[in-house]
A and B are shown apart, each in its own frame.
Chain A
Amino acid sequence: MSEYNGEIKKMLIILSKATLENVYAAFVLANGARMEGIEAEIFFTFFGLEAIHSKKLEHLHVATVGNPAMHMPTMLGGLPGMEALATSMMKKEMEKIDMPDIHEFLDIMVASGVKLWACRLAMDMFHYKKEDMYEGLSDVITVGDFYKQGSVLGTHMLFI
């Protein structure tokens, strides 16, 4: 019989969005897993790819439209400059709690042993090449390849 006691051994996180709040959620969860000795991997797909696109990853924004927790009328959130304002406010708060920026966070994750995968289908769709992406990217893989990474007892999968 297996000795598996329900412990989490590996976190597979799928990141499909590139709004700052979602990207940070995925990164904090992956990094936090490694800190507990749990393996972690992130599969970047669709807009999530922007978080590892070298030219785009420094320019991610908070979503101000369609986000009720911003406590801002949707009409206002859509005004020019609103997203930039909300983003710079949030970045200031993040600095206060010692939260790294996206590029440094990627470096921390790679050093911590988090594997970063780009979705092949989404890469083709956006016409991105591997050279366009963050240098610490493990590889460009298919969904099937990613599922294979999860063939370990105690693997949990999370879609963001």
Chain B
Amino acid sequence: MEKEIAGKKINVNEEGYLLDFNQWDESIGEAIAKENNVEMTPRHWEVVKFLQGEHKNNVPLSIRKIGKSNVIDIKEFYALFPQGPLKISTKIAGIPKPASCL
């Protein structure tokens, strides 16, 4: 489905995840963050960029792997995205929601 995000028409799934990463830019990420009650800071962007890189390299994302990444620990990850770190951060990053239960 199409959704207007930051003034642009973007293809998203029913849960609001981008279907095409090429449509993503920082203003889109910012708008999705706001919608999910996240105020983006440089630290948030650092994590979001890291996740985009991992996704590009086809690394499956899980809380455990991110905790071991040396980029961010699990506690801080939850502090940045309290309403579900992996779920919300990937949505902001414009990448698919990880199917992992861990």
Number of A-B contacts (CB under 8 A): 43
Give A73 to B38 CA distance when docked, in angstroms.
Answer: 54
Partner of B64, one of A32, A34, A36, A100: A100
Chain A interface mostly helix, strand, loop or mixed? Answer: helix
If A35-B86, A36-B84, A36-B87 touch, does A98 touch B74 (CB 8 Å cutoff)? no
**Interface hit among B22-30, B48-56, B75-83:** B75-83
Name the interface size band of chain B: 10 to 19
How long is the Cα–Cα vector from A111 to B76 in the complex, in angstroms? 8
**Interface of B: prevailing SS:** helix
Give 6 A-B pairs besides A37-B87, A111-B75 with Cβ atoms closer than 8 angstroms: A28-B101, A35-B101, A37-B84, A108-B63, A108-B74, A111-B67
Q: Which residues of A contact B (CB under 8 A)?
A: 28, 31-32, 34-37, 98-100, 104, 108, 111-113
What are 25 contact pairs spanning A and B, CB under 8 A? A28-B101, A28-B102, A31-B101, A32-B101, A34-B78, A35-B84, A35-B85, A35-B86, A35-B87, A37-B82, A37-B83, A37-B84, A37-B88, A98-B65, A98-B102, A99-B102, A104-B64, A108-B63, A108-B67, A108-B74, A111-B73, A111-B75, A112-B63, A112-B78, A113-B78
